[in-house]
Amino acid sequence: MDIVLLGPPGAGKGTQATRLQRALQVPHIASGDLFRALRQSDSPLARQVQEYMDRGEYVPDQLTIEVVLNRLAASDAQDGFILDGFPRTLPQARALDGALDDHGQRVDVVLYITAPEDILISRVAGRMICPQCNTIYNTVTKPPKVDMLCDNDNHPLERRSDEEPEVVRRRLSTYLAQTLPLVKYYREKGILHEIDGSAPMDEVDSVVNEAVGLGVVS
């Protein structure tokens, strides 16, 4: 099954991606992870991406499309995938559809997870991550057992500078404006499922499971 996850920062996409990856046994492909990996590599494509990231600019559609489609061509993604952070624009969505169509595939389900702005800001501003194992914590919803230390490896947790409340508010505004055309695009295709990410976790899990045709998944 080929799944696209849409939703603003703090909506809960990462939580659902982890659940679905485990249940469906398909890769969770996050565009942010792909770009971070490119920063550590040395290739013509990596150098082009690094130039934009070093300037703090968005990577242009064409480069973003090339990075993601290269990953989707890998053998582990041939039986399905969970895309997170891509597509972000209509040209990206159309390029994805075209590439999948060439291989007899298509996006099966789009999960659009969102929540009220105040909840999103609270979640993102309270987020911490372990730089060693990439486990995400939250001061409200998932605090570590020991303050600012990872439960898994005792490594000090970090907060991102772009997750201060005012910065998050601007990111949300930009994201929502950018995403509206995508929501319309996938709704017209009849594959969009809108999910209230502020609902209790078991309710969100149940709605997601139904959307992708799963039974109870822990």
Asked if residue 102 belongs to a domain, the reply is yes
Asked if residue 215 belongs to a domain, the reply is no
pLDDT in tens, 138-191: 887 789 999 999 999 999 999 876 667 777 888 788 888 888 899 999 999 999
Structural domain boundaries enclosing 55: 2-208
Asked if residue 216 belongs to a domain, the reply is no
Asked if residue 213 belongs to a domain, the reply is no
3-state secondary structure of 111: strand
Torsion (CA) 161, 139, 27, 155 in degrees, nearest 10: 80
Per-residue pLDDT at 161 = 67
Confirm if 101 and 23 have CB atoms less than 8 A apart: no
DSSP 22-47: HHHT--EEEHHHHHHHHHTS-SHHHH
- The number of C-alpha atoms within 13 Å of 5 and in the hemisphere containing its C-beta is 27
pLDDT in tens, 50-83: 888 777 677 889 999 999 999 999 999 999 999 9
Asked if residue 200 belongs to a domain, the reply is yes
Asked if residue 214 belongs to a domain, the reply is no
Q: Which H or E run contains 198?
A: none
- Residues belonging to the active site: 13, 88, 127, 160, 171
Percentage of the chain modeled with pLDDT above 70: 96
Asked if residue 218 belongs to a domain, the reply is no
Asked if residue 134 belongs to a domain, the reply is yes
What b/e sequence results for 112-137 when a residue is b if at least 16 CB atoms lie within 10 Å of its CB, and e otherwise? Answer: bbbbeeeebbbbbbbbbbbeeeebeb
pTM score, whole prediction: 0.82
Cα end-to-end span (Å), the chain? 19
Q: How far apart are CA 129 and CA 142, in angstroms?
A: 11
Region of 125 on the Ramachandran plot (φ > 0 left; ψ -120 to 50 alpha; else beta): alpha
List alpha helices for the chain, DSSP H.
13-24, 31-39, 44-54, 61-72, 90-102, 117-125, 165-189, 201-212
- Domain containing 175 — which CATH number? 3.40.50.300
Number of domains present in the structure of the chain: 1
Q: What is the 8-class DSSP label of residue 164?
A: S
Better pLDDT: 5 or 134: 5
Structure tokens at 103: 């291989």
